[in-house]
Structure 1
Amino acid sequence: MKVLGILPIKKHVIQFFIGFLFIVVLSVLWIYIETLVKSVIWEQKPIDYRLIYKALMYHLKSALTEDLVFRGAILYILINRLGAKWAIFISASFFGVYHVFSYGITGGAIIPILYVITVTGFAGYVWACVFEKTKSIALGLGLHLGINLVRVCFYPSQPYGELLVKEISKVNFSEWNELYFVLIKGLFPSVVTLIFLKLLLKSYFKFFKNN
């Protein structure tokens, strides 16, 4: 538990909430951009606090499990044996491929599969970099949980989705423009997060890194 940086000490708690709050704000910002660009019309749904609580517990367990597997013990061992560069690449690659199976699209078209591997794999890369720099899964866990919760509040998802609003209508782009837009949508949070974290870790490295 100590080597994974999961103990609920003050530093880890602060790291978790910094990651959580940052990605929530960033995700909501993207939804606002998408609403403007695609003229999305949303319909507010009645708030079901019980359902929101269930979704929170589900995604907390899911994010924690995935982080312990892909950015926990395995990544820690790989870093010690192969070095950070290869360890992070392997962790991110497996994380991307894992989502092809978890989303149940193994028998689907190649473009959606490549999209899922690219988007989730790059997110896994960012979160693995966070673990390597901070020696803790706390910050990455906050990012992981935050982005998942925002998505299920606005978009369809299983087993929980569209918890707060439902999309009624939007402008449809041409096939290729839609592909580009969806790719930007998928990579935007991870790219901005990577830039933010590089600046954050550079400025406050002594605080975020465990001794």
Structure 2
Amino acid sequence: MIGILVAAAISWLLLYFFEKDNILALGFLPIAKRLKQFLIGFMLSAFLCVLVQFLESYLKSSEWIMNEDISPLHILEAFWWDFKSVLTEELIFRGALLYILFKKIGTRKSVLISAIAFGIYHWFSYGVLGNVLAMVLVFLGTGLMGFAWALAFSKTNSIMLAFGLHLGWNFVHNTIFSKGPLGEMLLISKGGNELSDWASLLNFTSGLIIVPIIMLLFVCFGVKNEGFTKQFP
């Protein structure tokens, strides 16, 4: 919670100092419209994450079983953890700094800078620094994702669609399918075989490359451009 408060406070100060604006400039209003954008993003990325997990289960011939030790309270606590971590990242990478860049240098350069920063950040959060191949793949995948989400901000003039896309993926990945740092949560993978090289590559690229491309296509062609400029389709 402290991280969110600090990020929000810094965002407010930056917006006031550079643009004489406040945190609402990040597009939290009107509430009904922004909530709809958030839910659309959440459901799309959640659905894509489910597909990726069941593809892995199919390739490994494994199955997902319910964790009998999990409780609704644990799920709520995990959701809150995902919510806090995602909102903090959104405020950093697609918050006040990106808004100010839009105003100062335009959307094209700003979206690219945001995507590059997001890709580099994940070298550290994924712990792949020094592994050249992993660094390239992580940069491409998370950079594409960051590009799609920054573009969503530029087209909607709001952080909410990107927030939904980000949270939908993280919540399903971490809390539903127990793939994140929270340990065993709602579903646990049972059984299965070790993946062959091609199957492992398909499994890896489905989440890290194919999903970001799908999200980018959705933002490019499925989201009405009503944001800062009309530079994108």
- TM-score if structure 2 supplies the norm length? 0.78
Name the counterpart of 2:216: 194
1:121 aligned residue? 143
C-alpha displacement at 1:43, in angstroms?
Answer: 2.8
Q: What is the alpha-carbon distance in structure 1 between the residues aligned to residue 26 and residue 134 of structure 2?
A: 33
Q: Secondary structure at the match of 1:163?
A: coil
Is 1:101 equivalent to 2:143 in the alignment?
no
Aligned to 2:9: none
Please state whether the residue corresponding to 2:25 is helix, strand or coil: coil
- Provide the residue aligned with 1:85 in structure 2: 108
Q: Which residue of 2 aligns with 1:141?
A: 163
In 2: Cα distance, 1:33 partner to 1:149 partner:
18
Relative to structure 1, the CA distance from residue 86 to residue 5 in structure 2 (aligned partners, 3 Å threshold; closer, same or farther) is same
1:98-153 alpha-carbon deviations (Å, 9 max, x no partner): 122223443x5222232222221111111001001001000110110110011012
Counterparts of 2:42 and 2:206 in 1: how far apart (Å)?
21
Alignment RMSD = 2.1
The gaps in structure 1 that reach 5 residues or longer are: none
Render the CA deviation track for 1:154-196: whole Å, top value 9, x for unaligned.
14321x1331121223333333552343123312222222222
Residue pairs, 1:161-172, within 5 angstroms: 161-172=183-194
CA distance in 1, matches of 2:59, 2:202: 13
**Which stretches of structure 1, 4 residues or more, deviate above 6 A after TM superposition?**
none
Distance 1:194 1:149 in 2: 20
Q: In the superposition, relative to structure 1, how do residues 21 and 156 fare at CA in structure 2: closer, same or farther (>3 Å)?
A: closer
CA distance in 2 between partners of 1:89 and 1:116 (Å): 16
- Quote the Cα distance in structure 2 between the aligned partners of 1:31 and 1:104: 22
Report what 1:2 is aligned to.
24
